[in-house]
C-alpha cells in the first residue's frame, strides 16, 4: 500500500514511498513460486504425453520418453514463468488498476499534446488547450458532467481507503477489487468484488463510516447479482434529485396563460326542493314527558279498511294481510 517514510512536513526522512508492503510482497512471492512449479509440472506432463506418442515409433519407448520429458520441460518453462510473473506482480498490477483512469488521462493528454505539436505551432496549441479547459468551465452541462465523473474517481479511492483502514478482516490484508464507477442522479455507483473474509453484512455495519469517508450523505450496499454474493453494488448519495424544482415543458404550450378558477354564479340551495312532499304532509308530533319527538311524516290519504273476500274479515287500512302473500 502507498506509505510514506517521512517523519513530518519539515522533519528529516528518507523520502522513500512504499508502494507494496513487505509482508504482502513476501506472501505473493511465495504464491508465485508455488504457481510456477504447479504450472511447469502440469504443462510438462501434458506436453510429454503428446510427444511420447508421436516419437515412440521412431525413437522407441525409452528414447521417446526421455526426449519428450526434456522437450516438455523446456516447453513448460515459459508458460510457468509468465504465470508466476503475473502472480508476483499482482499487487503492482492491482495498484495500477486503482489508478488506471488517472494514468490513462495523463497519457492521453501527453500523447495529444505531442501529436498536436507535430502539426501546429504554439499559438494553436495554446488555443486548443484553452478550449479544452474553458468549455467544461463555462458550459454548465459539460461542467456538471466533468464534476460527476471527478466524484467517481474520488469515490473509488475513498472506498478503497475504507477497506484498507477499518474493514480488513483476513490475516493477509488483501483488499477488494473495485471494478468501476459511473455517475447517477443522486451521486455515484460503484461495483466492488469482495475477497474471502468479507461479506455484505460486514459491509452494511460500516456504511455510516464509508459515507463519512466519501464525504457523502448516505451509502447503500446491495448484491449486484443474485448469483454471486461477492459482487456488491455501492450507491453513494450526495444529493436528493427530487428536492429541486423542475420546469415543465407543458407551461410553454399555454403561451403564458395562467389557469384560474371560475366562480359559480348559481346560488346554493337553501332548503330541500322535494316536489312530491308538501308542507302539510309533515306534522310535528306532540311532545311526550317534556321531550320533543322527531318529525314523523303522516300521509293524508291513508288506505281505507278493506274486507277480505275469502274470509269476510275486515282488514284495517294501511296494513297488509299475511294471507295475500300465501
DSSP 89-140: THHHHHHHHHTHHHHHHHHHHHHHHHHHHTTS-HHHHHHHHHHHHHHHHHSH
The pTM (predicted TM-score) of the whole model is 0.60
Q: Which SS3 state, helix, strand or coil, does residue 12 take?
A: coil
For the chain, give every domain's residue range: 15-89, 97-237
Task: Give the tens place of pLDDT for each residue, 149-205.
Answer: 999 999 999 999 998 888 876 666 678 889 989 999 999 999 999 988 889 999 999
Cα pseudo-dihedral 124, 128, 129, 135, rounded to 10:
150
**Which grid coordinates are listed for 237?**
448519495
Q: What is the mean pLDDT of the chain?
A: 78
- CA 91 from chain centre, in angstroms, equals 28
Neighbours of 174 (CB within 10 A): 19
Task: Give the tens place of pLDDT for each residue, 41-82.
Answer: 999 888 888 888 777 777 777 888 888 888 888 888 999 999
Give CA angle at 68 (38, 57), nearest 5°.
Answer: 145
Which residues, in sequence order, are CB contacts of 263 under 8 Å at separation 6+? none
Cα–Cα distance, 211 to 204 (Å, whole number): 11
DSSP letter assigned to residue 9? S
Amino acid at each position: 500500500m502507498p506509505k510514506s517514510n517521512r517523519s513530518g512536513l519539515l522533519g528529516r526522512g528518507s523520502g522513500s514511498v512504499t508502494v507494496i508492503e513487505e509482508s504482502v510482497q513476501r506472501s505473493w512471492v511465495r504464491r508465485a513460486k508455488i504457481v510456477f512449479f504447479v504450472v511447469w509440472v502440469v504443462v510438462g506432463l501434458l506436453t510429454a504425453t503428446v510427444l511420447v506418442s508421436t516419437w515412440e515409433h521412431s525413437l522407441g519407448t525409452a528414447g521417446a520418453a526421455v526426449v519428450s520429458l526434456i522437450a516438455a520441460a523446456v516447453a513448460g518453462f515459459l508458460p510457468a514463468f509468465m504465470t508466476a510473473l503475473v502472480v508476483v506482480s499482482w499487487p503492482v498490477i492491482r495498484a495500477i488498476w486503482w489508478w488506471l483512469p488517472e494514468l490513462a488521462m495523463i497519457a492521453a493528454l501527453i500523447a495529444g499534446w505531442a501529436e498536436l505539436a507535430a502539426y501546429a505551432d504554439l499559438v494553436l496549441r495554446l488555443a486548443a488547450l484553452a478550449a479544452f479547459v474553458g468549455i467544461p468551465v463555462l458550459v454548465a452541462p459539460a461542467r456538471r458532467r466533468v464534476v460527476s465523473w471527478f466524484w467517481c474517481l474520488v469515490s473509488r479511492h475513498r472506498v478503497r481507503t475504507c477497506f484498507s483502514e477499518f474493514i480488513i478482516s483476513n490475516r493477509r490484508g488483501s483488499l477488494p477489487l473495485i471494478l468501476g464507477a459511473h455517475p447517477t442522479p443522486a451521486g455515484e455507483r460503484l461495483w466492488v468484488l469482495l475477497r474471502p473474509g468479507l461479506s455484505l453484512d460486514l459491509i452494511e455495519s460500516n456504511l455510516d463510516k464509508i459515507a463519512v469517508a466519501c464525504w457523502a450523505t448516505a451509502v447503500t450496499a446491495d448484491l449486484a447479482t443474485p448469483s454471486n454474493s461477492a459482487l456488491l453494488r455501492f450507491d453513494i448519495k450526495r444529493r436528493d434529485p427530487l428536492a429541486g424544482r423542475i420546469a415543465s415543458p407543458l407551461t410553454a404550450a399555454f403561451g403564458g396563460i395562467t389557469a384560474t378558477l371560475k366562480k359559480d354564479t348559481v346560488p346554493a340551495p337553501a332548503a330541500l326542493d322535494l316536489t312530491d312532499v308538501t308542507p302539510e304532509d309533515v306534522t310535528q308530533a306532540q311532545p311526550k314527558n317534556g321531550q320533543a319527538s322527531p318529525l314523523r311524516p303522516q300521509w293524508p290519504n291513508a288506505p281505507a279498511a278493506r274486507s277480505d273476500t275469502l274470509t269476510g274479515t275486515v282488514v284495517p287500512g294501511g296494513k297488509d294481510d299475511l294471507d295475500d302473500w300465501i
